[in-house]
């Protein structure tokens, strides 16, 4: 019994607030794809569900017609998150670099961003909330970094300034 308690404590330390657990297909319903096609680009991302219990974000990034990015994003009712210090993403990447973005509220115009590199294996990415830098349309803003007080939007974006295919398997996104 003591052993079980230790194991449960270990897992509960990994994620304090689960934002999205993709073991259930219904978690995909809050998400939408936004590609550079909103600006005339030609990139093409897709989001699907694996029967093994994870989201699959995959597609092609194209630089054609001034394009260059694909993203998956979710808006939600603003959450109080001041008690947390890190974003936790359980995923398996393709060895490429991605960008994780947050907003304090869903309607905030600018984002707070932080790049992360995937290893090609299942891993847990931890990003300190204080590392998220303010940006708008790719330009760094001269305002303070993310406060970590509220959260209303998350996005995963790939835009490495090259034509490339990508594939990211995501188990869970949360806060610790």
**Eight-class DSSP state of 149:** S
User: Angle CA(174)–CA(175)–CA(176) in degrees, nearest 5?
Assistant: 130
What average pLDDT does range 5-9 have in this prediction?
Answer: 36
Counting Cα atoms < 13 Å in the Cβ hemisphere of 30 gives 17
Q: Please provide the average confidence, as pLDDT, over all residues in the chain.
A: 92
What average pLDDT does range 15-36 have in this prediction?
Answer: 95
Question: Does the pLDDT value for residue 55 go beyond 80?
Answer: yes
Report whether 147 contacts 138 (CB < 8 A): no
- CATH entry 2.60.120.430 includes domain 2-175: yes
What average pLDDT does range 123-149 have in this prediction?
Answer: 96
pLDDT tens, residue by residue, 89-119 = 999 999 999 999 999 999 999 999 999 999 9
Residue 8's contacts (CB-CB under 8 Å, 6 or more residues apart) are none
Two structure tokens written together for 115: 């790049």
């Amino acid at each position: 019994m003591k052993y079980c308690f230790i194991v449960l404590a270990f897992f509960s330390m990994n994620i304090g607030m689960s934002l999205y657990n993709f073991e259930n297909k219904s978690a995909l319903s809050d998400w939408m794809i936004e590609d550079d096609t909103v600006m005339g680009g030609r990139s093409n991302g897709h989001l699907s569900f694996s029967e093994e219990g994870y989201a699959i974000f995959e597609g092609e990034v194209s630089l054609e017609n001034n394009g260059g990015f694909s993203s998956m994003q979710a808006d939600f009712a603003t959450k109080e998150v001041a008690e947390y210090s890190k974003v936790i993403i359980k995923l398996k990447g393709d060895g490429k670099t991605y960008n994780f973005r947050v907003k304090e509220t869903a309607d905030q115009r600018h984002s707070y961003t932080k790049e992360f590199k995937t290893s090609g294996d299942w891993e847990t990415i931890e990003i300190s909330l204080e590392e998220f830098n303010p940006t708008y349309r790719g330009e760094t803003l001269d305002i303070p970094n993310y406060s970590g007080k509220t959260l209303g939007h998350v996005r995963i974006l790939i835009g490495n300034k090259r034509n490339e295919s990508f594939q990211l398997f995501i188990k869970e996104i949360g806060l610790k």
